[in-house]
Structure 1
Amino acid sequence: MDHLPLAAAASAASAPAAGPQQGRVLDAYKKALATAASVAAYAVLARSMARELLPDELRAAARWGAAFVRARLGAAEKERHTVVIRRQLDGGYNENQLFEAARAYLATKIDPRALRRLSLARSRCKEADGSSSWTTLLCLEPGDSTTDVFDGVEFRWTSMETGGGDDGKRGGKGGGDRGHRAPRESLELSFDAEHTDTALERYIPFVMATAEQLQRRERVLRIFMNEVRSWHGFNHHHPATFDTIAMDPDLKKSIVDDLDRFLKRKEYYRRIGKAWKRGYLLHGPPGTGKSSLVAAMANYLRFNLYDLDLSEVRVNAALQRLLISMPNKSILVIEDIDCCFDAKPREGHNTAAALEQAVDFDYLSDSDDDIGGAPPKAHRAGDLQQQKLTLSGLLNFIDGLWSTSGEERVIVFTTNYKDRLDAALLRPGRMDMHIYMGYCGWEAFKTLAHNYFLAFKTLAHNYFLIGDHLLFPEIQELISGVEATPAEVSEMLLRSEDVDAALRGLVEFLRERTRRRARQEAEIKNELVAEEGNAA
């Protein structure tokens, strides 16, 4: 047992030696803290001095260099590729559309709270019809970066600015600054080398498509009318949308889905050998919302409207010229198509002389010049029957040889009487979707009630927020048994901003319509009984 006292003695002997060692560690720790505090203080001071003394360009370059070093250190084992997208091409004579598209796309990805400096830019968008609109964008400052994730791949965008300054050629008699070089702007897209195919084949096209959609939403829509051989446009501010239009919800959804598929199928249409267009035939009684549906389509697609009045068109050549001059991404509308082509000529007007008086041959002079001058007047009168406006000339543009003169177009025909249409218009495949716009049903009424009373902002109750009212059951029963158009129901709802008063007026209107229908049915029944009695 002698080893126990020996161990205790050894422990006691080593205890005094531990004290000085701990003291040295503590002193070193204190010195490290003091050094760190000093470095931090110098860093804060240096940063403040840099803000005051260094120009913005130099500080931007320093930030870019630090970001570059961090990116290199963070991906030391991975090779990085960079795509440079310059703002100007051909020595500054042409704008790079990809640069503008990328900048518009990045404006939706930038978090203003994550960056100390941001710039605002006002961009002018040129439309296909020659008009233009302005939009404000949030942009990266030179040297700043932001990241974006696409299909699980991280892409880094960096704004760059190079060049600028004086090239020594400034001067001249006017004292101008023609020698001053504008800075060259660019965007750098960097990513891991293994994702190069994803970047070039999928991500950049995605950026372009997204920017195009953003431009559509920002554009000021226009509606065009035809006068003889040309289009004249006006700003179009119709408020109809698929949220406000009164129609069956399932039918509404099917239309929206069809439009979405159409926009995404450019390559699909090309692959199957069809023109990239879509045709809709809207039919139903007057006042059922056909024109409102056309406006809702335009607002949803952000396409301009071209309202074609065929009474202003006298020959197929003029119709062809009008339709060819329509730009892509547009909607052609022909209302009341059943009234546009009359197959029965008026008596006494089927002679060459009458046709010659009805049509001004100078109207065709532009196209005649292209083939060496117009034919003699006598021959023109004889050929007018083949030259005048015909249904076949219109159909040739819809799905004939001229249907490929443009792409991404929507064609809409409207009619109140589908049974009066020429069979050629109803041929399968000619109009892709036939849409019946019927009388106001229960679901359509709820949409109207919500729109009208919510717009008034005078809700005394929460009826239309929860979809209930004491008169709703009676309205649902009455509206299912009468033929009332959405226009008629809207008129009744507009008569009062008070919810209860407006609904009571609508109930009385529907009751009267029900009584009138009962009287009509009784009269028809009595007539049938009388006819049977006379026959007996």
Structure 2
Amino acid sequence: MMFSSRDMPSPSSMFSAYASMTASVMLMRSMANDLIPQPIRGYLANAFRYLIKPHSPNLTLVIEESSGIARNQVYDAAEVYLSTRVSPLNERLKIFKSPKEKRLTIRLEKGEKLVDFYGGAELKWRFICAESENNNPSNNNIAIRSEKQYFELCFHKEHKEMVLDNYLPFILEKSKEMKDEERDLKMHTLNTSYCYSGIKWDSINLEHPSTFETLAMEPELKKAVVEDLDRFVRRKDFYKTVGRAWKRGYLLYGPPGTGKSSLIAAMANHLKFDIYDLQLANIVRDGDLRKLLLATANRSILVIEDIDCSVDLPERTRHADARKQADVQVRNLNYSSYSASIFFFFF
């Protein structure tokens, strides 16, 4: 079929048709804005974008380091588990080792990817560190840089149930076994570099040599303390039955050099519990204290030193009155979110 130039519309007629179509579209848009409420228009727009958007067959789970003020156990478990899945394809890794650790600790560096296989499914991991700036209202709105760390786990959508019901519980259990096999006791202290997101714990290996075998203590008293600790560990089910938090409190007092720190170290070495050293004088806000307490791990000892200098006690020179006031403070604290923790209160 042949077309001549006379059969083609003129530019003026094409422009007129375009202008007429544009005017019609604008009129319809104006009528739609007048007749259709904004919520419905937004819903229709989102539905249209959803229909024309290409859909991926994959699902991505974001595993953040913490959820609110509570630490994310899945994140910690993934960090430990993925260290055993490092392959020659990885280009950057974090390596560290303390003097008393038997082997190197390996962690993924930011941006690194790793592929794991479970139940016939391919699971793609990626470690991400994102920096952000927040204004600190207590410090003239000075911008403070913070870092947010999280894992991304990507897999085909058909494996969603398997990942949630089997793979992630497997990682949690596997990381627990690894931690128990290579457990090094830690001494946690407060990070003094305060930021808008709050203070946090820093840790080093607990290398105190004190044990109940080397501790200078009356034999009968030493035996009573050891039996009390062992009974506390065995009676987890009893605490649960009576509806009480699984915790044990001790109040140690005395001048410097009388062995308070050595007794704590001996308890930690006996129970294989970490130690968290809390200085209440460094806590400014109630939210910071709550966040620190929730960040303590199970099987740990929380040490609060110089509690008589951290609370308002009217007669600090009299030990009996001071102990009574401290005991009231202890009873008023709520540590119900902890399991298998020992709390020490010092004078």
Q: TM-score range by the shorter chain?
A: 0.3 to 0.5
Q: Which has the higher strand share?
A: 2
Higher relative CO (Cα under 8 Å, sequence separation at least 6) belongs to 2
Q: Which has the higher helix share?
A: 1
Normalised TM-score (structure 2):
0.42
Larger Rg: 1
